[in-house]
């Protein structure tokens, strides 16, 4: 992928063998985005936005708002929002990721793709996120993909079930580079 493609927002992951790609969200996608956000399977883990917030994230350059497409025929599978793309401290936030067909590996492929985008294309020094402490699936995924837990924002989300704490996690540029290097195939020696 050329840098200009990434700047425009197109990206795909084939390294993992899964068909997953991102394209910039259009205003006409927002019905889909809001239906995904309000799905009872996702609501416990996110705080749905007003439509106008999504419209802002599509238009404001500090954000990248993407539709995730996955599988045969590239149907829309969910959406992703990055924030801090113009952050002066090079701290890019994975603000939101929601994938509808769960447990198929799409989330992992996208987190990997987004880390590449953050460090390679957006020049991040720090790629970070927060996640509800009750979100076992996302926590396991982020830990497994190299995010380090930094601490907890205690009782920072009010839910129907009571207060929830947020786990703050991050990956730094050097840590990401080390993971990529460790995963790279070892070149065969000449006989």
Which region among 1-9, 57-65, 94-102, 170-178 touches ligand COA (by CB under 6 A)? 94-102
Q: Looking at beta carbons, which residue is closest to ligand COA? A: 107
Residue 64 phi, psi (nearest 5): -130, 125
Instruction: Compare residues 106 and 128 and give the one whose CB is closer to ligand COA.
Output: 106
Instruction: Compare residues 57 and 98 and give the one whose CB is closer to ligand COA.
Output: 98
Contact with ligand COA (CB under 6 A) among 51, 59, 137, 152: 137
User: How many secondary structure helices (H) and strands (E) does the chain include?
Assistant: 6, 8
C-alpha 154: how far from its chain's center? 23
Sheet holding 91-99, edge to edge: 11-13, 20-24, 63-70, 76-83, 91-99, 126-132, 162-172, 148-159
With H, G, I as helix, E, B as strand and everything else as coil, classify residue 140. helix
Site for ligand COA contains 19 (CB under 6 A): no
Which region among 20-28, 38-46, 113-121, 172-180 touches ligand COA (by CB under 6 A)? 38-46
Per CB under 6 A, residues contacting ligand COA are 42, 45-46, 97-99, 102-108, 131, 135-138, 140-141, 144
């Amino acid at each position: 992928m050329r840098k200009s493609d990434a700047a425009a927002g197109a990206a795909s992951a084939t390294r993992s063998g899964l068909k997953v790609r991102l394209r910039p969200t259009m205003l006409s996608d927002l019905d889909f985005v809001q239906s995904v956000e309000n799905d009872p399977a996702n609501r416990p883990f996110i705080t749905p936005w007003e439509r106008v917030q999504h419209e802002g994230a599509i238009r404001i350059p500090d954000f990248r708002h993407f539709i995730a497409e996955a599988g045969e025929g590239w149907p829309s599978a969910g959406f992703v929002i990055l924030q801090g793309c113009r952050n002066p401290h090079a701290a890019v936030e994975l603000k939101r990721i929601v994938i509808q067909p769960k447990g198929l590996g799409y989330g992992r492929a996208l987190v990997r793709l987004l880390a590449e985008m953050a460090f390679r294309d957006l020049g991040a020094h720090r790629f970070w996120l927060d996640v509800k402490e009750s979100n076992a699936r996302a926590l396991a995924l982020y830990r497994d993909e190299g995010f380090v837990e930094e601490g907890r924002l205690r009782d920072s989300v009010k839910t129907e079930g009571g207060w929830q704490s947020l786990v703050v996690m991050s990956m730094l540029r050097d840590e990401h580079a080390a993971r990529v290097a460790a995963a790279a195939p070892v070149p065969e020696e000449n006989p």
